[in-house]
Amino acid sequence: MLQVLLPGLGLVRVKPGSFKPGDVLHQPFPPAALEVVSGIKEGLDEVHPQSLAKWEEDLRRVPRPEVEVARWLRVADAYQRCTEWRELSPEAKRDYYRSCPPARWRRAPKCWAGCSCR
């Protein structure tokens, strides 16, 4: 069982296999938006691999995709800045990416507090 914080319900326990993707809420992205999403994909592909179609589909399911795109742009930017200047194995890069909770990515447009690139 996993604990999940759901708006209006608080902390609840759910079975991992019981998650279903939400409905697609938005039309397909225009070419300019897909270009931005493609940049996110390129920046994170080595640690968060998925197709451009999957990125778009997931973003079309959130209520405000522009907010989510902005968040992922910050994630990709921070990840690239913190890993591009040194050689890291693929495992080390994945560990580095996973070491920062998503909530911290939202607050830190540069690097997170524990980042060693400062």
- Average pLDDT of the segment spanning 70-81: 87
At 79-95, the pLDDT tens digits run 888 888 888 899 888 88
- Average pLDDT of the segment spanning 70-83: 86
In the prediction, which pLDDT does 19 show? 65
Look up the pTM and report it.
0.70
26: nearest Cα among 61, 52, 55: 61
- Domain residue ranges of the chain, discontinuous segments joined by +: 29-105
In the prediction, which pLDDT does 14 show? 79
DSSP assignment of the chain, as one string? Answer: -EEEEETTTEEEEE-GGG--PPPP-SPPPPHHHHHHHHHHHHHHTTTS---HHHHHHHHHTSS-HHHHHHHHHHHHHHHHHHHTTS---HHHHHHHHHTS-HHHHHH-SS--TT-TT-
At 15-57, the pLDDT tens digits run 877 767 778 889 999 999 999 999 999 999 999 999 999 999 9
Say how far apart CA 26 and CA 57 lie, in whole Å.
9
Residue 75 has pLDDT above 90, yes or no: no
- Average pLDDT of the segment spanning 98-113: 53
Crossing angle of helices 65-83 and 52-60, rounded to 10°: 140
Say how far apart CA 80 and CA 86 lie, in whole Å.
11
**Which token pair is 5?**
């914080």
pLDDT-based confidence at residue 100 (cuts at 50, 70, 90): low
